[in-house]
Copies of this chain bind each other. A is one copy, B any other.
């Protein structure tokens, strides 16, 4: 296999949880490309491939190394143009950046707070120390205080999904009749929550829950290859 995807994991190497890595797993499957997953802990990332990146996903495709889930999607679209499109044209490529902005600015912060102790507890000791130090610096407070703030996020999370509910009145995927990378962007955030947190953020009967289940079914149920926490 010439294609290798470095994926963030805790002590259980079979449960990659990074939202960004999930975007890339689905992007590769969307293009019909095989890949091996190489699980890594937080503190191993800067040592990968001669220190080429500080973030995952990192994809090796033959001689090519690409990091960042959006850059990888752009790379795959250019390198494999004859395979199913990830963007549906130039407009879709541009608007996927807005979807990324919405997902990262609206969904990631509350999920990060809700799941912060679950993530911490899932890590190897060396990665726990790194995670505590970096996240306490980022949030300006202790992990425990961030987790306490996350309890309020549980109440308000569902309301943040209203833009998706509006869109789903018209079509089954953000990409229209079929999923595109924009779907994988939002799926990645909710898959992260599904894998790391025992809290269920999507209620049965919610159209967003139906959409998420459709995404879990895609590409032979790739998203279901890791069970919910």
A interface, CB within 8 angstroms of B: 85, 87-102, 104-106, 162-167, 170-171, 173-177, 180, 182
A177 contact set on B, CB distance < 8 A: 94
CB pair A98–B162 under 8 Å, yes or no, is no
Q: When chains A and B are docked, how far (Å) is the Cα of A95 from the Cα of B97? A: 11
Given the contacts A90-B92, A95-B99, A101-B167, A106 and B174 also touching, CB distance less than 8 Å:
no
Overall SS of chain A's interface: helix
A-B CB contact pairs (8 Å), 10 listed: A92-B92, A94-B171, A95-B99, A97-B166, A98-B182, A101-B165, A102-B102, A105-B162, A105-B163, A105-B166
Q: A104-B166, A163-B105 are in contact. Are A174 and B88 (CB under 8 A)?
A: no
Q: Do B100 and A166 touch (CB < 8 A)?
A: yes
Work out how many copies of this chain go into the complex.
2
Give every chain B residue within 8 A of A162 (Cβ-Cβ).
101, 105-106
Q: Are A94 and B163 within 8 A (Cβ)? A: no
Across the two chains, which residue of chain B brings its CB closest to A89?
B89
Question: With the chains together, A180 CA to B93 CA distance in Å?
Answer: 12
Contacts A97-B170, A101-B166 aside, 15 further interface pairs with beta carbons under 8 A come to A88-B89, A88-B91, A88-B94, A90-B92, A91-B95, A91-B182, A94-B171, A94-B174, A94-B176, A94-B177, A95-B174, A95-B182, A98-B182, A102-B102, A105-B163
Q: Which residue of B lies closest to A92 (CB)?
A: B91
Q: Which residues of B contact A92 (CB under 8 A)?
A: 88-92, 94-95
Shortest CB-to-CB span from A167 to chain B, Å, is 5
Nearest opposing residue in chain B for A100, CB measure: B166
Please give, as numbers and ranges, the residues of chain B lying within 8 Å of A171 by CB-CB distance. 94, 97
User: Inside 8 A of A98's CB, which chain B residues have their CB?
Assistant: 95, 98-99, 102, 163-164, 167, 174, 182
Q: Which B residue sits closest to A161, measured CB to CB? A: B105
Return the contact of A91 from the options B91, B97, B166 (Cβ within 8 A): B91
